[in-house]
Chains A and B, each alone.
Chain A
Amino acid sequence: MRLNEDPAAFEAFYRGHVDAVMRFVVRRVGDPHLAADLTADIFLAVLDSGHTYRPGRGSEIAWLYGVARNVVSAQHRRTAREAQATSRVAGRRLMDDNDLGRMEERIDAERQMRRALEAMRGLPEGERAVLELVAIDQLSVAEAAATLGIRQVTARVRLHRARRALENAASPAAVYVEGQA
């Protein structure tokens, strides 16, 4: 089964994961319009990379979060204007006032997570990536390792180091993150 060729399979995948994807996005951006664009971009990227998709629960999550991470980090490297120009489905145009309100609620609900992410900014990239997926996105260490394409043992070491670093920083956000992890 090819996710990008079978509309029924794609719909099932979309319905199963759209909520998680939106949560992933609003933990990282605070603008509801941009959040809608990124949600659309992530699923467009799912269509683009559909041929690399292998069904199966564990790998499915890792695959999707891998795609989502790429889309969001690519967005950080571009201006919003560029992002709009390159996307064939502009998420923001699919939102009505009601959706905008719901998106803002989602963004509010994840405020603490965005602060926690902010607190991790000083960590080395490799460690931060693991902690982000485990503490913020609630992935298991195995899923986080698969998402990042690293070995589980490597992920565990990085996670440990990242937590240690945050403990030493002892900021309130770091304590919160520790509680979540």
Chain B
Amino acid sequence: MSNFEERLLSALKEEMTMRTAEENMAVQTPVRRGSSRRFVGLGAAVAGVAAAATVAMTVFSGAAPAYAVTKGADGSVNVQINEFSDPDGLKSELAAAGIKSVVDYLPADKICKEPRGEHSASSGRVQTRIGKADKGITFQIEMGQIAADQTLVLAISRDQANPGKPPVSTALQLIKGTVAPCVETAMPALPPPSKDNGPGLTGRKDDSKGSGVSQSSDNQ
């Protein structure tokens, strides 16, 4: 049964989806690649959110097994994910390395609904490198980067049928206190991937209090 009220509701919901997609497009800044290491100051602000960074990556490379969490001599933790298939396993590996985490692997066209919780405020600038490893993604967390009350929240959108394929989108953030469970929502349209053979890195930052997570992409 369709009538004016129902059709109007559908039109308004479509409008909502379009607006959300446009907002996300507006704050995504394509990053040109050139040097082997690049720090990306992620811009834009969302009211009421202290500090968070979401990085959407498109990578083109082969596949390889599993994940690896290794502790460096300086106390840093290196995380390499090659296959996006065992979030709980990665979570316990991270826990063993002293990092409380929430890991979600999502279908390729879905992301987690934001916000997931209170973003960590005024912990200074947090440096994390997200690099394209041979097979998957790697990132490094420096010692003391994550405070006791913070949780590393990782949400990766990937092809479910091919868990070894590189992810469509990677979101990494630090949440203070309770982390809301991932509510899947449609992924907004991404700008076309960069032409060269590397991750097309687009940054989106919610930062209203000055501190932030800055990401560098790293060709390995």
Contact = CB atoms under 8 A, between A and B. Distances in A.
A89 B9 contact: no
Contacts of B7: 94
A10 B13 contact: yes
B3 interface: yes
Interface in B3-20: 3-5, 7-9, 11-13, 15-17, 19-20
A44 B9 contact: no
Given A47-B19, A99-B3, A91 B12 contact: no
A102 interface: yes
A95 B20 CA distance: 26
Given A94-B4, A98-B3, A40 B20 contact: no
Given A4-B16, A10-B16, A47-B19, A89 B4 contact: no
Interface in B86-106: none
Given A40-B11, A89-B11, A94-B11, A47 B4 contact: no
A49 to B, nearest CB: 13
A51 B48 CA distance: 11
The B interface is mostly helix, strand or loop, or mixed, namely: helix
Interface in A82-101: 88-89, 91, 94-96, 98-99
B8 A40 contact: yes
Contacts, number: 53
A139 interface: no
Contacts of B47: 51
Contacts of B19: 4, 47
Contacts of A96: 3-4
Interface residues of A, number: 26
Contacts of A43: 8, 12
A88 B13 CA distance: 12
Interface string B1-44: 00111011101110111011000000000000000000000000
Q: In this complex, which of B4, B5, B7, B11 has the most chain A Cβ atoms within 10 angstroms of its Cβ?
A: B4
Interface of A, secondary structure class, is helix
B3 A44 contact: no
Contact of B8 (A88, A91, A98): A91
A7 B3 contact: no
Nearest to A90: B11
B23 to A, nearest CB: 10
Contact of A89 (B3, B5, B12, B20): B12
A39 interface: yes
Contact of A10 (B4, B8, B11, B12): B12
A133 interface: no
B13 A44 contact: no
Nearest to A50: B16
A5 interface: yes
B20 A5 contact: yes
Given A10-B16, A40-B11, A96-B4, 16 more contacts: A4-B16, A4-B19, A5-B16, A7-B13, A7-B17, A11-B9, A14-B9, A43-B8, A43-B12, A44-B12, A44-B15, A47-B16, A51-B47, A89-B15, A94-B8, A102-B4
11 contacts: A4-B19, A11-B9, A44-B12, A89-B8, A89-B12, A91-B4, A94-B8, A94-B11, A96-B3, A99-B3, A102-B4
